[in-house]
Amino acid sequence: MSNEAIAQQFLELADLTDFVGDSPFKSRAYRQAAQVLESLQTPIETLAENGVDALAALPGIGEAIAEKILAYLRTGTIPKREELLQKVPAGVLEVMEVPGIGAKTARLLHEQLGVHDLASLRNALLSGAVDRLPHFTPRKRERLLRLVELKHKSQRRTPLGLALPRGRELQQAIGALDGVQQAMLCGSARRMQEDVGDLDYLVASDAPQTVVEAFVRLPAVAEVYAQGISRAQVFLKDGMQVDLKIVPPERWGAGMLYLTGSRAHSIRLRQRAIERGLKLNEYGVWRGAECLADDTEEAVYAALGLPYIPPPLREDTGEIEAAEQGRLPTLVALGDIRGDLQSHSHWSDGLDTLETMAQAADALGYEYLAITDHAHQFTTREAFEQRRRAIEQLNQRTGGRPYLINAVEVNILPDGSLHAPEWMLHAAEFVLAGIHEAHGQPPTEMTARLIRALEHPAVDALAHPTGRRYGKRPPNDADWEQVFERARVLGKAIEINGYPTRMDPPTPIARLLLQSGAWVCLGTDAHAARDLQAMELAVGLAQRAWATPERILNTRPLKALLQWLNDRRQSV
Ligand code: DGT
Ligand code: CA
Ligand code: CA
Ligand code: ZN
């Protein structure tokens, strides 16, 4: 249990107390307790071990509150809070969290308009029903509506590729605020999760209050939803939610670990601490009141008898066991990537010329770039020949820096045959096959279709295996283990696609892919030079799949890659 979690319970208890109209002295005491708990730097459990008196010695904590803390530590809840929740719909708590809605307004809204959660509040605001309430000015209605709409919209998840650039920009802005020693984007974005709910920042500072006040005034901030002594929750202009948490500089590592999560990973670490007679919280690893580790993540893991676990692995999907046994993978890194194996030029549907694509690839330090224009867009053999010559000439002119691979991406038709003439498939140096139509077939058909495509002698790799598109299309269903096993036997590659709205295959399937032992190729599916930046997303996804460099085709130098392609051509 974190101090923060129990502080939250006291805040809710205070809101509920006000809502039912119990003594305002009580709710004030609960809020004060929440503040004390939030700024307390040792795990509350540690103090609780010495009984009620030790707790009651804290400023602002009397015996009654100390008892509540003990009950919470025993049962995971404060009994009084549960008792009040019998009388009040649970959703009222989120209504009272909206800035500007106090207990009095919440009660009016509930009694007169049946508002019992955020959704019903939103309806009452949208329909104008709230205008019937006393003192409910149109201005107040507009303001609340804006906040509630932001909260509503923030429930949508944002693809990592859109969240990350914005997240880094904001990290810079936060890092430049007065009093900030370090600022870091944590949460799911740091774990490179394919989509993120909100952005979480950890800040190291000795002047939390100053930082909070400056943070909520940043130009990017549209609305402040919550503001505390060492934390804030705001919305950006585009509706994205941002959480900020400030810790003293010496607690940096423990704070990072906490705020990076995932929740499941943190829970396992806490259990591990307890098994060793220790406590882990957002401030460090503790033996009693003694802090054993807090300043770096490495130190915190070490205090728990573990090596550093990279963020993309922190999902409680075997990483703790692997760490214990010393078999954590040495993850592939962006710096290992020597080229991009999927991109499009203006010869098909790309925006940029071969030259521009080559320059951008060179700027990234690549040795090679596969130009995988869509096969079906070459209507004549002459057109394809023209592109081949253009690629050759450019390679000559640049001395092969980078070397453009004369490649093609071919549609897999519903029956698994390929939508391209045989001569083209054989003329290309690298053939990617992918599904662009007839999505959503039943799994057995889809499996057979993908395997048939892989079995075509000219095919080198399967592009964006599940076909998912964020907000548009769910992943196709297939027997992925069977598909990947077939690829392994055939010596072919399966793509991990980093195009921001694709990120394909999703983590669990990508994990199966890496377990299969098949070759993997990373591609951005760039349709413009700037899209080549998405390689970091493909690498992030590969890391979440536990990928090491060895099985990834494009960690190989050009010569070895061409050798691989050549060997495969000889063997057919
Ligand atoms: P998201 O935002 O839905 O993409 O996912 P996360 O992982 O960023 O989750 P979020 O934003 O709710 O919280 C950020 C991190 O803070 C989370 O990964 C772990 C930590 N955290 C937040 N609340 C709790 C909690 O109640 N218990 C624990 N153990 N950790 C928490
Ligand atoms: Ca988050
Ligand atoms: Ca959050
Ligand atoms: Zn494609």
Mind listing the pLDDT tens digit for each residue in 464-480? 999 999 989 999 999 99
Q: Is the CB of 262 under 6 A from ligand 1?
A: yes
Give ranges for CATH 3.20.20.140 in the chain.
334-570
Ligand 1 atom, smallest distance to 270 CA: 29
Ligand 1 atom, smallest distance to 193 CA: 4
Distance separating the N- and C-terminal Cα atoms of the chain: 60
Angle at 158 between CA 125 and CA 314, to 5 degrees: 125
Mind listing the pLDDT tens digit for each residue in 199-219? 999 999 999 999 999 999 999
Looking at all shown ligands, the one closest to residue 9's CA atom is 1
Sign of the Cα pseudo-torsion (155, 156, 158, 159, in order): positive
- What is residue 238's predicted lDDT score, i.e. its pLDDT? 84
DSSP 8-class letter at 90: T
Q: Is the CB of 197 under 6 A from ligand 1?
A: yes
Give ranges for CATH 3.30.460.10 in the chain.
158-247
Protein residue closest via CA to atom 5 of ligand 1:
188
Q: Is the CB of 188 under 6 A from ligand 1?
A: yes
* φ, ψ at 224 (rounded to 5°): -100, 125
Q: What's the 188 CA to ligand 3 centre distance in angstroms?
A: 9
Mind listing the pLDDT tens digit for each residue in 368-422? 999 999 999 999 999 999 999 999 999 999 999 999 999 999 999 999 999 999 9
Looking at all shown ligands, the one closest to residue 188's CA atom is 1
Distance CA 529, CA 352 (A): 6
Q: Is the CB of 259 under 6 A from ligand 1?
A: yes
Q: What protein residues have CB closer than 5 angstroms to ion ligand 4?
A: 434
Protein residue closest via CA to atom 25 of ligand 1:
263
DSSP 8-class letter at 376: G
Angle at 14 between CA 9 and CA 16, to 5 degrees: 95
Place 60 in a pLDDT band, splitting at 50, 70 and 90.
confident
- What is residue 496's predicted lDDT score, i.e. its pLDDT? 98
Distance CA 529, CA 343 (A): 9
Give ranges for CATH 1.10.150.110 in the chain.
3-154
Mutate to test the pocket of ligand 1, among 4, 8, 77, 188 (most ligand atoms within 8 A of CB): 188
Q: What's the 415 CA to ligand 1 centre distance in angstroms?
A: 44
Q: What's the 148 CA to ligand 3 centre distance in angstroms?
A: 17
Q: What's the 242 CA to ligand 3 centre distance in angstroms?
A: 7
Most confident of 51-65, 145-159, 221-235, 541-555: 541-555
Closest CA to 501 of 155, 153, 157: 157
Q: Are 113 and 124 spatial neighbours (Cβ–Cβ below 8 Å)?
A: yes
Mind listing the pLDDT tens digit for each residue in 521-544? 999 999 999 999 999 999 999 999
CATH of 3-154, one of 3.90.1150.200, 2.40.30.30, 1.10.150.110, 3.30.70.120: 1.10.150.110
Ligand 1 atom, smallest distance to 260 CA: 18
Q: Are 11 and 30 spatial neighbours (Cβ–Cβ below 8 Å)?
A: yes
CA 59 to chain centre: 39
Q: Are 500 and 160 spatial neighbours (Cβ–Cβ below 8 Å)?
A: yes
Q: What's the 523 CA to ligand 3 centre distance in angstroms?
A: 30
Mind listing the pLDDT tens digit for each residue in 5-43? 899 999 999 999 999 998 889 999 999 999 999 888 888
CATH architecture of 334-570: Alpha-Beta Barrel (3.20)
Distance CA 441, CA 448 (A): 11
Closest CA to 494 of 338, 341, 329, 335: 341
Looking at all shown ligands, the one closest to residue 243's CA atom is 3
Phi-psi map region of 158: left, alpha, beta (phi>0 left; psi -120 to 50 alpha): beta
Q: Is the CB of 315 under 6 A from ligand 1?
A: no
Place 571 in a pLDDT band, splitting at 50, 70 and 90.
low
Looking at all shown ligands, the one closest to residue 263's CA atom is 1
- What is residue 114's predicted lDDT score, i.e. its pLDDT? 94
By mean pLDDT, which of 41-55, 287-301, 532-546 is the weakest? 41-55
DSSP 8-class letter at 313: G
Distance CA 179, CA 374 (A): 53
Ligand 1 atom, smallest distance to 5 CA: 26
Protein residue closest via CA to atom 15 of ligand 1:
259
CA atoms within 13 A on the CB side of 151: 20
Q: Token match 């030259």: residue? A: 355
Q: Are 52 and 66 spatial neighbours (Cβ–Cβ below 8 Å)?
A: yes
Distance CA 506, CA 475 (A): 8
Looking at all shown ligands, the one closest to residue 244's CA atom is 3
Q: Is the CB of 196 under 6 A from ligand 1?
A: yes
Closest CA to 503 of 477, 473, 483: 473
What's the whole-model pTM score? 0.92
Distance CA 290, CA 318 (A): 30
Specify the CATH number of the domain 252-324.
Answer: 3.30.210.10
Mind listing the pLDDT tens digit for each residue in 91-137? 999 999 999 898 989 999 999 999 999 999 999 999 999 999 888 89
Looking at all shown ligands, the one closest to residue 461's CA atom is 4
Protein residue closest via CA to atom 26 of ligand 1:
5
Q: Is the CB of 311 under 6 A from ligand 1?
A: no
Distance CA 103, CA 21 (A): 8
**pLDDT of residue 569 exceeding 80:** no
Q: Are strands 368-374 and 403-411 parallel, antiparallel or unpaired?
A: parallel
Q: Is the CB of 198 under 6 A from ligand 1?
A: yes
CATH of 158-247, one of 3.30.460.10, 3.40.50.1110, 1.20.1250.20, 3.30.2020.30: 3.30.460.10
Q: Is the CB of 266 under 6 A from ligand 1?
A: yes
Quickly count: other Cβ atoms within 10 Å of residue 125's Cβ: 25
Q: What's the 456 CA to ligand 4 centre distance in angstroms?
A: 18
Q: What's the 137 CA to ligand 3 centre distance in angstroms?
A: 32
The string of DSSP codes covering 329-378 is: -----GGG--EES-B--TTTT-SS-HHHHHHHHHHTT-SEEEEEEEGGG-
- What is residue 1's predicted lDDT score, i.e. its pLDDT? 65
Protein residue closest via CA to atom 24 of ligand 1:
263
Protein residue closest via CA to atom 3 of ligand 1:
197
In this structure, which amino acid lies at residue 339? G
Protein residue closest via CA to atom 18 of ligand 1:
261
> Where does 40-159 have alpha helices with state H?
44-48, 51-56, 63-75, 79-85, 92-97, 103-113, 118-127, 138-153
| Chain mean pLDDT for the chain | 95
Ligand 1 atom, smallest distance to 188 CA: 8
Q: What is the mean pLDDT of residues 552-567?
A: 96
DSSP 8-class letter at 184: E
Protein residue closest via CA to atom 23 of ligand 1:
263
- What is residue 572's predicted lDDT score, i.e. its pLDDT? 57
> Where does 428-554 have alpha helices with state H?
443-455, 480-490, 507-516, 535-544
- What is residue 50's predicted lDDT score, i.e. its pLDDT? 83
Protein residue closest via CA to atom 16 of ligand 1:
259
Q: What's the 434 CA to ligand 2 centre distance in angstroms?
A: 33
